């Protein structure tokens, strides 16, 4: 419903802009009527345009009222207190001031024919109280247009001061100009000279553009990313009820431009020190070489890929929970540089693999070693976090599976389903296209590990031919999962589901996408026909599974920090460009907020998506416990997520314990959005980083 509402409101707003400009122009030109008959006809037409404006204002107001009644205040505060008044106020002025005068003018010109308007009619047709409300509608619609595409997020009265002051200035100016025209109309009939009017309007427009170009070009230049930028600098948000180390309590959200200097009471801790075990023989050792490779899919398409070990995707890395893992990364010839980020696996900060935040990019010819203990069992994946948008698109990723310590006791068919769109080839499962046959004996427990890696695609997975259970989300097991059937599982970039089922005698088909051309056909002999797909509903984890007897925290817990994360789209400046960007709290990097926490804090974040596209929000180094979705508490199994699917109109309350010190990225994992500035950081007090991003550094994490 949310998408329909905002598109309805936006459509009405655009029509309101067009109609108000037309109406203002027609009202202003009434004074140029050559006869009273012509004046009467033109005046009647204003009634039609007034009704149109009223209907459009009603649609805008109605959409905002529905949002206010059904959605989180972060969705509608600016709409209700700024945009609704801007739509309603000029319409009310038209009906209370213009329409009564319009009716008098109609009455006094009714029945007249070719007589020129006398002084009284000219004064009526140019009365400021009659004309200015129509002109004000055009002015307010311009402000509406501005606030629709540059919303004041998060809503603060100070953010609207300049635009509203400018609006009032031009409103006063219009009144003065119309008063002067009214006086001139009393002296003699005014002659309409289109060329002079167009010349005047063009001159005013050029003057406004010339004046406006100065701050525009200044903002354009200042938005360019600097040659060097520390990840410790930016707008710090300490959350609600924070007491800094000096003991001064801060009420509400506190923002400041800071460099994250630690308290004088403790020595700073560098990201470099927050490593995994530096000594000891690893239980698992992997070697990955990043290199250019021409890879041929099973369908025959040839892909010029960036690969790990010449494979596309990279080799699946399997380990067991509790094992010490060592991964040696060698960059053979990727000129842009590479890293390894363990998506969803909560490793020490120095092992997180983010260029410019936790390490420098590994450039061509260089080698880097990661060491960590695999603390969680589940389904994860790894990818480069240097130029990650391009790197993942071209193939620098692979599956990462952490098995339980006693995995040998588990007897099941374990199938990893990692989906990706290869440039020039389309959607694939790994490096395979089409339908893959799989021979599985009846009675076998089958686990499918679903991993989605693509930007922009809301990938659907439908299992037909058997009931199944969703046993894990984002690498964390669910408690008491129940049997499902005719359910579509949907994932955004970076998300994972584990599902299990018992293999029946008849074929089972996992469909990937909306058609029947991609998937895995499982049967007892590797042959057979795919079961017919029936109508499905989308799986919702909010009430799935059995509620835990105990939870580490819930909606009633006392939180040390509470943050708000508002996802939206607005026109903004970023790195020398001006366009519609996806934003966090109204900003793009490096002006996005840094959420500041202390180790041990219990942190709650309210996330709302005001935009018209979904955002998979990925917090590094932590798993978030989902407490509520759209004001509805989660009542099933504990739902932990590291890549949360925030659809348009969605609001979530999530929480986590700040138990992994460092500087952690928190960004949209639609990497196109992240590369365009939709990224921020979670920063622990007292942690510093020597690494930098910027044009003069090799580090470009997105």
For the chain, the maximum distance between any two Cα atoms, rounded to a whole number of angstroms, is 104
- Please, what is the angle between helix 99-109 and helix 128-149, to 10°? 140
383 annotated as a binding-site residue: yes
Torsion of Cα atoms, 159 then 161 then 162 then 164, to 10°: 120
C-alpha 279/C-alpha 651 separation (Å) is 44
C-alpha 270/C-alpha 273 separation (Å) is 5
- How far CA 105 is from CA of 46, 110, 112, 118, 120, in Å, comes to 12, 8, 12, 12, 10
Strand 487-491 vs strand 537-538: parallel, antiparallel, or unpaired?
parallel
C-alpha 552/C-alpha 657 separation (Å) is 9
C-alpha 626/C-alpha 606 separation (Å) is 10
Per residue in 645-677, is it b (16+ CB within 10 Å) or e — as a string?
bbbbbbbbbbbbbbebbbbbbbbbbbbebbbbb
Would you call 240 helix, strand, or coil by DSSP? coil
C-alpha 261/C-alpha 490 separation (Å) is 42
- Positive or negative: CA dihedral 106, 109, 112, 113: negative
* CA 671 and chain centroid, separation: 11
C-alpha 656/C-alpha 664 separation (Å) is 14
Would you call 38 helix, strand, or coil by DSSP? helix
Element (H, E) at 443: none
623 annotated as a binding-site residue: no
Per residue, what are the HEC states of 355-367?
A: ECCCECCECCCCE
Q: Are 130 and 98 in contact (CB under 8 A)?
A: yes
| End-to-end alpha carbon distance in the chain | 32
Would you call 229 helix, strand, or coil by DSSP? strand
Q: Are 510 and 462 in contact (CB under 8 A)?
A: yes
Q: Are 456 and 509 in contact (CB under 8 A)?
A: no
Spatial neighbors of 37 by CB under 8 A, at least 6 apart, are 109, 112, 113, 114
Concatenated DSSP letters for 49-106? HHHHHHHHHHHHHHHHHHHHHHS-HHHHHHIIIIIHHHHHHHHHHIIIIIHHHHHHHH
Question: Peptide bond preceding 313: is omega within 30 degrees of 0, i.e. cis?
Answer: yes
C-alpha 102/C-alpha 46 separation (Å) is 8
Q: Are 697 and 603 in contact (CB under 8 A)?
A: no
C-alpha 132/C-alpha 94 separation (Å) is 9
| Known binding residues for Cu cation | 343, 383
| Known binding residues | 343, 383
């Amino acid at each position: 419903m949310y998408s329909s509402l905002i598109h309805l409101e936006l459509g009405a707003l655009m029509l309101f802009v067009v109609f108000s400009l037309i109406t203002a122009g027609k009202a202003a030109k009434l004074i140029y009527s050559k006869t009273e008959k012509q004046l009467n006809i033109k005046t009647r037409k204003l009634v039609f345009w007034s009704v149109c404006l009223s209907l459009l204002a009603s649609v805008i107001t109605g959409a905002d009222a529905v949002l206010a009644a059904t959605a989180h205040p972060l969705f509608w505060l600016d709409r209700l207190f700024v945009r609704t008044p801007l739509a309603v106020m000029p319409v009310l002025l038209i009906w209370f001031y213009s329409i009564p005068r319009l009716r008098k003018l109609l009455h006094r010109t009714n029945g007249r024919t070719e007589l020129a308007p006398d002084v009284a009619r000219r004064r009526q047709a140019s009365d400021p109280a009659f004309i200015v409300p129509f002109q004000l509608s055009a002015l307010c619609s311009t402000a509406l247009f501005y606030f629709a595409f540059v919303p004041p997020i998060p809503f603060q009265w100070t953010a609207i001061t300049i635009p509203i002051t400018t609006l009032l200035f031009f409103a006063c100016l219009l009144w003065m100009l119309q008063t002067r025209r009214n006086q001139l109309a009393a002296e003699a009939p005014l002659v309409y000279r289109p060329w002079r009017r167009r010349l005047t309007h063009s001159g005013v427009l050029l003057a406004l553009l010339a004046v406006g170009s100065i701050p525009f070009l200044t903002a354009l230049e200042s938005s360019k990313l600097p040659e060097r930028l520390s990840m410790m600098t930016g707008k710090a948000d300490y959350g609600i009820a924070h007491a800094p180390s000096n003991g001064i309590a801060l009420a509400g959200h506190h923002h400041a431009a800071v460099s994250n200097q630690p308290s004088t009471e403790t020595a700073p801790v560098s990201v470099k020190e927050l490593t995994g075990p530096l000594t000891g023989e690893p239980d698992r050792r992997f070697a990955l070489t990043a290199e250019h490779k021409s890879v041929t899919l099973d369908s025959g398409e040839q892909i010029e890929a960036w690969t790990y070990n010449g494979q596309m995707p990279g080799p699946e890395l399997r380990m067991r929970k509790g094992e010490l893992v060592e991964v040696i990364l060698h960059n053979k010839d990727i000129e842009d540089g590479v890293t390894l980020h363990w998506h969803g696996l909560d490793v020490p900060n120095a092992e997180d693999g983010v260029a410019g935040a936790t390490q420098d990019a590994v450039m061509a010819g260089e080698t880097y070693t990661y060491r960590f203990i695999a603390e969680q069992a589940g389904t994860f994946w790894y990818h480069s976090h240097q130029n990650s948008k391009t790197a993942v698109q071209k193939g620098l990723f692979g599956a990462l599976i952490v098995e339980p310590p006693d995995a040998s006791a588990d007897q099941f068919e374990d199938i990893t389903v990692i989906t990706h769109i290869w440039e020039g080839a389309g959607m694939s499962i790994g490096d395979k296209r089409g339908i893959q046959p799989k021979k599985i004996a009846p009675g076998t427990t089958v686990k499918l590990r679903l991993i989605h890696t693509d930007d922009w695609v809301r990938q659907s997975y439908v299992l037909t031919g058997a009931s199944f259970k969703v046993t894990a989300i984002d690498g964390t097991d669910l408690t008491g999962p129940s049997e499902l059937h005719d359910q579509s599982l949907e994932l955004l970039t970076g998300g994972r589901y584990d599902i299990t089922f018992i293999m029946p005698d008849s074929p089972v088909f996992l469909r990937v996408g909306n058609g029947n051309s991609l998937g895995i056909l499982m049967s007892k002999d590797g042959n057979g026909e795919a079961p017919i797909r029936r109508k499905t509903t989308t799986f919702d984890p909010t009430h799935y599974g059995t509620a835990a007897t105990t939870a580490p925290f819930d909606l009633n817990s006392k939180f040390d920090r509470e943050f708000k994360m508002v996802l939206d789209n607005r026109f903004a400046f970023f790195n020398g460009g001006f366009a519609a960007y996806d934003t966090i709290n109204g900003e793009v990097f490096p002006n996005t907020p840094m959420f500041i926490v202390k180790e041990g804090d219990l942190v709650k974040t309210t996330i709302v998506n005001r935009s018209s596209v979904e955002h998979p929000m990925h917090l590094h180094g932590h798993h978030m416990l989902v407490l509520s979705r759209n004001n509805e508490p989660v009542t099933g199994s504990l739902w932990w997520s590291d890549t949360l699917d925030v659809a348009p109109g969605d609001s979530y309350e999530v929480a986590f314990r700040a138990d992994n010190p460092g500087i952690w990225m928190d960004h949209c994992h639609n990497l196109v959005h992240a590369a365009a500035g939709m990224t921020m950081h979670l920063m622990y007090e007292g942690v510093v980083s020597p690494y930098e991003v910027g044009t003069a550094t090799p580090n470009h994490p997105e």
